[in-house]
Amino acid sequence: MAKIALAEPRSGVELELCDGPGCVPGPPIAPAGTQPARTTAEPVVDTGVLTLVGDGVSGWSADFIGGQSVVGYRLTDTLGGAIAEDAIDVDWVRVGGTERCGGPREAEIELPS
Residue 40 within a domain: no
Residue 60 within a domain: yes
What's the number of domains the chain is made of? 1
Q: Provide the whole-model pTM.
A: 0.83
25: containing domain: 2-30+45-111
Contacts of 51 (CB under 8 A, 6+ apart): 28, 61, 62, 63
Amino acid letter at 113? S
According to DSSP, the residues that pair with 4 across neighbouring strands are: 60, 109
Residue 21 within a domain: yes
Q: How far is CA 96 from CA 51, 57, 60, 103, in A?
A: 20, 29, 22, 5
pLDDT confidence bin for 33, thresholds 50/70/90: very low
Residue 38 within a domain: no
Chain length of the chain: 113
Residue 39 within a domain: no
Residue 37 within a domain: no
Chain segment 68-85, per-residue pLDDT in tens? 999 999 999 988 899 999
